[in-house]
A and B are shown apart, each in its own frame.
Chain A
Amino acid sequence: MANTKKFSDRKKDERAAAYIFTTPAMILLVAFLVVPMIYTVYYSVFKYQVMRPDDIAFVGMDNYAKLFKDMDFWQSLKNTFYFTVIVVPVQCVLALALALLVSKRFRGVSIFRTMYFSPQLTSMVVISVLWTVLYNSNPNTGLINSILVGLGMQPINFLTNAKTAMNAIIFMSAWQGAGYQMMIFLAGLQGIPTEQYEASAVDGATKWQQFWNITLPNLKGTIKYVVMITMIQAMKLFTQPYVMTQGGPRNATKTMVYYIYTQGFQKGNFGYACSVAAVFFVIVVAMSLILQRITNAE
């Protein structure tokens, strides 16, 4: 009797400690995430021009009705999905490949690790500006086009052609982002017991068989995590189109977040921007849940 009481007391203490330790994070979370989210939903049912906060009018579901008829909204949603669907596998495979390359222990491996990781240390804005110049359509200024022309090919309007602009952004985003995922994969790879490889080598397994039957299954948790964060990050794509293409050409790179920004800040349609943000939030949460379901089911 006395023992169980003590036990439950200790449990209570632990619980109290847990609350105390999580309080700072919780306060921040509530202040900067939960409250703004509630406000977003609240303002999404108002006509609210940001420059006239005294003239807010309740409009019910008008903003949502308008949104479903808004071609720019659907286009932005489509672009965001396209970006996500392409960039997530590309970036994850690239990251895994890089991680496998640098997981070996050899002289100078850290230099490679640092090199692959270094784009992560540079601001996305800086990288976007750099790539805008690299992609420039004029072979006299754009490095990539000057190489193409040097090889006897036609220059490509990477960022000013609706067909290539998003792919150009996908390529540079995957290049920029892969380093971070590589680091996580690297940690995962180092956690795989070497005995498994040794044992399989004794049994005569090829490198390829080892990869499929030892590396991948052991990385399952890491892969889940990496895919999830890459997807959420991809859905939030903003900086690259903002700096490089301003959503163009022909809306080809206009993403959800960029659309929310132009509506809310550039044009001052705050209420409408909030309704877009609210719908977008639901979509991201739904996608995360679906992805979790899929990966858990496996």
Chain B
Amino acid sequence: MSQFRLKKLDLGGFVNTRILRDHTKRRTFEQFEPERQALRYTIRNTSLPQRVRAQAQLQLANMHSNTRSTQIKNRCVEGGTARSVIRAFRLGRYQFRMQALAGELPGVRKASW
């Protein structure tokens, strides 16, 4: 994990350890995505020799777990909460409610129907 971390913080806004960790995972995923996709292509391509495909499989399995997209978890930008984060605003439910009531989210208002 630490080998992927940036020496200098490049985040503005709210930062805590878990956000930092998740951000590092995102950056790592971005960095290694072409390589992963290339390996995935080699594995899926049935016209390539079996040996090459098996080796690609091994290589893909041997890559660091942080290069996987499944390790990424959407977190609240304002408070770092990992649960019930509204994707459209990148906010946790409580932050969303506070900001919506304060009128900081354009177009969002209390609904009743």
| A and B held together in a complex | no
Binding site for B on A (CB under 8 A): none
